[in-house]
Amino acid sequence: MAYMEAEDLTRFFLRKKRVKEGGFRRWVARERETVKALDHASFQVEAGELVGLIGPNGAGKSTTVKLLTGILTPTEGACRVAGRVPWAERKQHVRELGVVFGQRTQLWWDVPIADSFDLLREIYDRPRNDWAERLRQISAALELEPLLRTPLRQLSLGQRMRAEVCGSLLHRPRLLFLDEPTIGLDAVSKLALRSFLKEENRREGTTILLTTHDMEDMLALCSRVLVLGHGKLLYDGALQELLRRYDTVHTLRCTFAGEVTLPPPPPGCVLRRDGDAVEVDYPPAQVPTGDMLDWVRRAGPLREMTLKEQNVDQLIARMYQELAL
């Protein structure tokens, strides 16, 4: 039996819909419409996996997480996590969960974050010595030690996110849900947090479900992804296979030292200038990145170069086109 199993998991909502009556512009009547937030999704996650859950806004990601945590009950279908039905055995279920929901906080706004962590220890009824050692490890890894006596409201967005991740892991959960964990972090902090999450997954065996719009998060952390769209599970498989099928355009941006005469780019590429920079869109399946680098070197002395892959939303848009959604 898999650690997490969902079978035809479905959640519909009834929403009031305002309509016009006759030719008047004012809204004079209401109707109800059914919104399919999640539509017969089935998947399994093994213990210790680190899985990406991706899709555009409104795709059903938050609904899926709320069902798996027991916050919502399904309209149809079934789900078990660690052998439990989340919404039926929620008190036992949440003791083994860690959750970081974007704009929601589990820490207290006006008190030092160390005091919030102490309150969490009381809530989870954990031994004081073990809790202190766990706090020392995580706060050092996330560079929170200088901030422990600072109220949450005085922290930056990135600092608050690190504090939330720390608070969600102190009780050693078996399952961790993360919603955009690197939002607001600078490049160095992002690298540190990704490294920490990979190590936490390896050392503690924590099962992690990650929702993100950041392609770098996915590439760094997830070998497997679940893609949701219009409430349906569109893809469940290896991240590299998803990229092979849908990551069809990369962009190479270059700035040269002085004026250069650009040679014609390889067939299938689109060349354009953006101020002092040159950008080239190329299909990596037909034109290897190595060939594009050779083209850049032939153009002249290079000052700066960046390579951009498509973001998650662009991948999903191409998937929608293929599936005619």
Summarize pLDDT for 141-156 with one digit per residue, the tens. 898 999 999 999 999 8
Q: Would you say residue 166 has pLDDT above 60?
A: yes
User: In this predicted structure, what is the pLDDT of residue 209?
Assistant: 96
**278 belongs to a structural domain:** yes
pLDDT category at 121 given cuts 50, 70, 90 is: very high
> Helices 128-141 and 187-204 meet at what angle, rounded to 10?
140
Q: What mean pLDDT comes out for the span 169-173?
A: 95
Q: Which two tokens stand for residue 124?
A: 């989870």
Cα distance between residue 13 and residue 75, in whole Å: 9
CA dihedral 283, 285, 291, 297 (to 10 degrees): 30
Of the given ranges (80-84, 207-211, 299-303), which has the lowest mean pLDDT?
299-303
Those residues whose C-beta lies under 8 Å from the C-beta of residue 58, and which sit 6 or more positions away, are none
User: In this predicted structure, what is the pLDDT of residue 262?
Assistant: 85
Q: What mean pLDDT comes out for the span 276-291?
A: 88
CA distances (Å), origin 131, targets 105, 137, 170: 20, 10, 7
Query: Would you call 208 helix, strand, or coil by DSSP?
Result: strand
**What does DSSP assign to residue 147?**
G
Q: Which two tokens stand for residue 130?
A: 């073990």
User: In this predicted structure, what is the pLDDT of residue 26?
Assistant: 53
**140 belongs to a structural domain:** no
Domain count, the chain: 1
Residue with tokens 């806004």: 57
**18 belongs to a structural domain:** no
Report the 10 Å Cβ neighbour count for 18. Answer: 9
**75 belongs to a structural domain:** no
Q: Would you say residue 309 has pLDDT above 90?
A: no
> Helices 128-141 and 157-169 meet at what angle, rounded to 10?
140
User: In this predicted structure, what is the pLDDT of residue 29?
Assistant: 54
pLDDT category at 185 given cuts 50, 70, 90 is: confident
CB 177 within 8 A of CB 98: yes
Cα distance between residue 17 and residue 33, in whole Å: 6
User: In this predicted structure, what is the pLDDT of residue 244?
Assistant: 82
Amino acid at 2: A
User: In this predicted structure, what is the pLDDT of residue 86?
Assistant: 96
User: In this predicted structure, what is the pLDDT of residue 58?
Assistant: 83
Q: What mean pLDDT comes out for the span 121-128?
A: 93
Cα distance between residue 114 and residue 139, in whole Å: 10
| Comparison of pLDDT for 181 and 81, the residue scoring more | 81
Is the dihedral angle over the CA atoms 128, 181, 227, 65 positive or is it negative? Answer: positive
**279 belongs to a structural domain:** yes
**243 belongs to a structural domain:** no
Cα distance between residue 134 and residue 131, in whole Å: 5
The pLDDT mean for the chain works out to 88
Pick the closest to residue 200 from 145, 284, 138, 264 (CA basis). 138
Most confident option among 65-74, 250-259, 277-286 = 65-74
Amino acid at 318: R
Question: Which range marks the domain in which residue 300 is found?
Answer: 248-308
**183 belongs to a structural domain:** no
| Comparison of pLDDT for 260 and 95, the residue scoring more | 95
User: In this predicted structure, what is the pLDDT of residue 33?
Assistant: 81
**Edge-first strand listing for the sheet containing 302-308:** 270-274, 277-282, 250-256, 302-308
pLDDT category at 158 given cuts 50, 70, 90 is: confident
**210 belongs to a structural domain:** no
pLDDT digit string, tens, across residues 13-55: 887 766 655 555 555 556 778 888 999 999 999 999 999 998 8
